């Protein structure tokens, strides 16, 4: 479909040179995962595809904290493509409300399309790909992989998090291991089960090798 191809073109162009956690291939995985979930869960396919493709088009982190930049780009692009204004509004709502940070103030009754794209984005943060992205991010920031003096734990207080020094292993406890319980759809929960177990197994191996207790 022409609109999807044009959107892909725009996304590839905008994401050129971004760090690899949010590059085109992340978008492609989230797009495909969203479609896979949509097959089972339903929802408006066009809205889901557009939102998945456009969800990371402009990270405020790289735009002086400007939270509105993504909506502006998406609105301008989709209007030019003569997409229905109702569809545009739905897509922008998803992009503005799906991030992990916004999980507490998201409305109770999220649209199914948002739930699906959010699930797909979260699934790409766990499992083997999640592990790889996390170590990649840690390397990019020059963070320690792990520090043995810090016992990582789930549901950390701010103080505990500060003490963790943001090691890459700590990020599993701070975020990755919590994601499976934040998923919206049954289909995503099923996919997450295996990915979650894989991360637990990875951590287990990691500590055994680190401590030479294998
Ligand atoms: P998202 O765009 O999915 O909301 P982020 O921009 O926070 O998430 O993160 C992008 C990728 O980098 C994810 O795979 C995430 O787990 C990883 N990441 C984010 N923060 C850290 C951190 N402090 N240490 C290691 N990895 C991180
Ligand atoms: Ni994303």
Residues 164-180 pLDDT 10s: 668 999 999 999 999 99
**What is the extent of the structural domain holding 43?**
1-99
- Site to probe by mutation for ligand 1, drawn from 25, 125, 142, 165 as the one with most ligand atoms within 8 Å of Cβ, is 125
Residues 92 and 135 in one domain: no
pLDDT digits (tens, 9 = 90+) for 129-166: 999 999 999 999 999 999 988 777 787 777 776 666 68
- Site to probe by mutation for ligand 1, drawn from 124, 134, 178 as the one with most ligand atoms within 8 Å of Cβ, is 134
Query: Residue 113: inside a domain, yes or no?
Result: no
Name the residue among 21, 26, 49, 27 with its Cα closest to residue 37.
49
Residue 210 CA to ligand 2 center (angstroms) comes to 31
Looking up residue 185, the CATH number of its domain turns out to be 1.20.58.1910
> Is the beta carbon of 111 within 6 A of some atom in ligand 1?
no
What's the pLDDT at 125? 98
CA–CA distance, 71 with 88 (Å, rounded to integer): 10
Residues 78 and 143 in one domain: no
DSSP state of 179: G
Domain count for the chain, please give it.
2
Domain-ending residue, one of 84, 99, 114: 99
CA–CA distance, 69 with 57 (Å, rounded to integer): 9
Looking up residue 41, the CATH number of its domain turns out to be 1.10.472.50
Query: Residue 118: inside a domain, yes or no?
Result: no
Handedness of CA 22, 28, 30, 31 (dihedral sign): positive
Query: Residue 114: inside a domain, yes or no?
Result: no
> Is the beta carbon of 137 within 6 A of some atom in ligand 1?
yes
Name the residue among 62, 174, 51 with its Cα closest to residue 116.
51
CA geometry: angle 176, 189, 56, nearest 5 deg: 55
Q: Whose CA is nearest to atom 7 of ligand 1?
A: 100
Query: Residue 32: inside a domain, yes or no?
Result: yes
């Amino acid at each position: 479909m022409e609109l999807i191809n044009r959107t892909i073109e725009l996304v590839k162009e905008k994401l050129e040179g971004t760090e690899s956690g949010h590059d085109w291939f992340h978008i492609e995985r989230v797009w495909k995962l969203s479609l896979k979930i949509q097959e089972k869960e339903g929802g408006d396919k066009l809205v889901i595809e557009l939102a998945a493709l456009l969800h990371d088009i402009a990270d405020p982190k790289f735009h002086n904290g400007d939270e509105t930049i993504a909506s502006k780009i998406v609105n301008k692009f989709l209007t030019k493509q003569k997409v229905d204004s109702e569809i545009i509004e739905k897509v922008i709502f998803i992009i503005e409300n799906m991030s992990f940070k916004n999980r507490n103030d998201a409305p109770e009754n999220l649209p199914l399309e948002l739930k699906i794209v959010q699930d797909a984005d979260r699934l790409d943060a766990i499992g083997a790909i999640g592990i790889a992205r996390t170590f990649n991010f840690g390397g990019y920031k020059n963070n320690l992989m792990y520090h043995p003096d810090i016992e990582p734990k789930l549901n950390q207080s701010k103080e505990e998090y500060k003490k963790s020094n943001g090691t890459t292993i700590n990020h599993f406890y701070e975020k990755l291991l919590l994601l499976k319980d934040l998923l919206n759809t049954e289909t995503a929960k099923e996919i997450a089960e295996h990915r979650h177990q894989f991360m637990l197994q990875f951590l287990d191996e990691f500590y055994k090798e680190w401590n030479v207790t294998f």
